[in-house]
Amino acid sequence: GKLLDVLAGHEGPISGLSFSPVTSLLASSSWDKSVRLWDIFKSKGEVEALPQSSDVLCVAFRPDGKELCCSLLDGQLAFWDAMTGEMKYTIEGRKDIIGGRRHDEARAAKNSTHALSFSSICYSADGSCILAGGNSKFVCIYEISQKILLKKFVISNNLSLDGVLE
């Protein structure tokens, strides 16, 4: 492999990358509280910065490439128009992902800071829902147009690290 280009601009660590499924855009998320959109086939990689209210943990394009979602450290899911760079809306997910405490943790789940944001997001195939999961036992499915939690799955109640004991 040969290095073709270096895309520079973030001031903090890169936390996520996502290619648009239909255009030449690459979205990068960072702990510098921004998402950047890069047109990778333009010379010097044209970039548009989308400022966020908190550090960005991950980013995903909707299957039609027209919308972008990013997960923020404060528990929000922010939705952006990928063509205009305008914020469309947010979904507050912090209360949906809270639940349970670690066996070695003295604080109650509602006071804990270990599971208050989503570290992984993915659109459904039709783009109408977003799945979000993180450092918690829950995976949440949100219906995007109504901005509501459709379903919250408990993916594990296993207390064993090796996955043998229930």
- Which pLDDT tens digit goes with each residue over 21-52? 999 899 999 999 889 898 888 766 567 888 88
How far, in Å, are 29, 30, 38, 42, 45 from residue 4 at the CA level?
A: 21, 22, 15, 13, 12
Which amino acid, one-letter code, is at 100? G
Question: 92 is written with which tokens?
Answer: 């507050």
For tokens 């349970």, name the residue. Answer: 100
Query: Residue 134, class by beta-carbon neighbours within 10 Å (0-12 exposed, 13-18 middle, 19+ buried)?
Result: buried
What mean pLDDT is predicted for residues 92-116?
65
Residue 96 main-chain phi, psi, to 5 deg: -75, -30
Q: Which residue has the higher pLDDT, 16 or 154?
A: 16
pTM over 0.75: yes
C-alpha of 143 from chain center: 15
Name residue, tokens 């379903």. 151
User: For the chain, how many residues are written?
Assistant: 166
Query: Identity (one letter) of the amino acid at 152?
Result: K
The rounded percent of the chain whose pLDDT value lies above 70 is 80
